[in-house]
Each structure stands twice: as structure tokens, then as C-alpha cells.
Chains A and B, each alone.
Chain A
Amino acid sequence: EVQLVQSGGGLVQPGGSLRLSCAASGFTFNTYWMSWVRQPPGKGLEWVANIKQDGSEQYFLDSVKGRFTLSRDNARNSFYLQVNSLRVEDTAVYYCARGRGPTYFHWGQGSLVTVSS
């Protein structure tokens, strides 16, 4: 069974940082692109970033470029979203998802990131 289990998230002040993690199981992790999608409270879905199987290609939403970074550890079947210089408008539930997008068969449970002073 494919599982994506997320950790990280929490309350952070504007300008702060967090690392979100996504641990994968039930499939051959190093053969899939992986993605992050976020959802501000009460709003719609927004694609954030994705990373190629070997990490050699990464793409980001314009509004997070230079502030968010992606990495993956294929030996640990995990990938990560480092979120820096956080803004109030980054407040959202962040989901990890398997694939490059826009078709995601499998999603994580979500991690809430709240940016507030």
C-alpha cells in the first residue's frame, strides 16, 4: 500500500523557517517525481514545487522562489520542503504528493503551517 506520511509544520513568526518532511513507503520512491501542494485555510489548492527522481530538476511557484528549497533522500525514501523567510500568506496546509503533477494518485495527510506574530 502506498503511504505518504508527513511531519513538520507548526506555528512560526513571519520571517521564520520550517522543514516539512514526507516519508514514502509502498512503492519504489526513486522512480517518481514528488510534489508539494498547499491549501490556505478556507481556500483552494495551489501547486508549490516538485522535484525529479534524482533531484536534478526542481520547479517552484513564482511566489516561493528563493525562499523555499526542495531536497530528497532516496536512501531514506523521504523528501523535504525547507520553507524560509515565511510570510503570513504562506499560511496553509501543505500536502506532499507522488508524481510531477497535475495528476496525483497519492497524497500525504497534510501539515499545517501557520505564520503569525
Chain B
Amino acid sequence: QSVLTQAPSASATPGQRVTISCSGSSSNIGSNSVTWYQQLPGTAPKLLIYSSNLRPSGVPDRFSGSKSGTAASLAISGLQSEDEAVYYCAAWDDTLNIVFGGGTKLTVL
């Protein structure tokens, strides 16, 4: 069982906006920033969002992150078929070092 909680699956149609949530506690998300990764099958994770809402160079602005209290969200607008992947949140935990969410598998219908 992961320290950060994510819904196991989400789905949406092309062009829609989808939000993936990540719930934590005061020792992780509540006091530290959140990172989001995208993982395609058989590949290493790819950094999408860091410091809760910053995008690395090359990540489309369709991807955005936010954080409020002990929860964080990743929003994907203008959904495309290539966005079908598993998305993970991660954060520093004051007691446990680095923790990940269990992942949300996004299906583009």
C-alpha cells in the first residue's frame, strides 16, 4: 500500500480535460512539494511536473499541477491518445524519505 493515494484508473475522450488526484498527509504533501511522472509501458518514468506546478522544458503546457493542503492534482487538457499512460505522484516525506503514489492508469477512450 502506497503512502500517497491515487485512484487506480481514470478515463476520458480525446480533447477533454482530465484531473488525476494524489492524497497524502501533513508529513509529505502537506509540507513538501509534489512531483508528477508519466510512464509509458516498458519505459522509464518521465518527469512531467516538479515543485508542484513547474514543467520541465519540453513538457507541453497541456499538463499542469497544483497542490492544496495535503492533496495534489495533475490536470491534462486537450487530451490526446499519446497521453494514455500511468501517472505517478511523488513527494518527500519528513519521516520516510521519498514516497510515491500507487499510480493512475489513464485510458483515452
A positions within 8 Å CB-CB of B: 35, 37, 44-47, 50, 59, 61-62, 95, 101-105, 107-110
Contact = CB atoms under 8 A, between A and B. Distances in A.
Contacts of A102: 35, 90-92, 98-100
B97 interface: yes
A101 B47 CA distance: 11
26 contacts: A35-B98, A44-B2, A44-B100, A44-B102, A44-B103, A45-B37, A45-B39, A45-B88, A45-B100, A46-B100, A47-B99, A50-B97, A50-B98, A62-B96, A95-B44, A101-B97, A102-B90, A102-B91, A102-B98, A102-B99, A102-B100, A103-B47, A103-B51, A104-B35, A104-B45, A105-B56
User: Binding site of A, secondary structure by majority: helix, strand, loop or mixed?
Assistant: loop
